Amino acid sequence: MTSLSDDLERLRRNAKGVRFADLERVILRAGFALDRARGSHRVYVRAGQILTVVKPHGRHTTCHPRDVRDVIRFLEGEA
């Protein structure tokens, strides 16, 4: 099993080819819990912090690189 830092490094190396399940695994491993989902938007919360991620839909199979970079910045800002 990989650590959170290993997962973040993998996301950092390839922000364009990240599937939602991989991104969600990192978010959940960081201690967030899914609060609500409406359409393609997923809202995760942890101790008053809110993180919103858009799940790819339609013909898209990977998350938008901007969303991946935002999650990385958010999680690295805490360390």
Query: Rounded to an integer, what distance in angstroms lies between the CA atom of residue 45 and that of residue 25?
Result: 14
Are 44 and 51 contacting, i.e. CB atoms less than 8 angstroms apart?
Answer: yes
Number of structural domains in the chain: 1
Domain holding 19, by residue range, is 4-76
Q: What is the mean pLDDT of each run of 10 residues along the chain (79 residues)?
A: 84 92 94 96 95 94 94 83
Query: Rounded to an integer, what distance in angstroms lies between the CA atom of residue 74 and that of residue 72?
Result: 5
What pLDDT, in 10s, does the model give residues 68-79? 999 999 998 864
Query: Rounded to an integer, what distance in angstroms lies between the CA atom of residue 73 and that of residue 30?
Result: 13
pTM recorded for the entire structure: 0.89
68: domain CATH number? 3.30.920.30
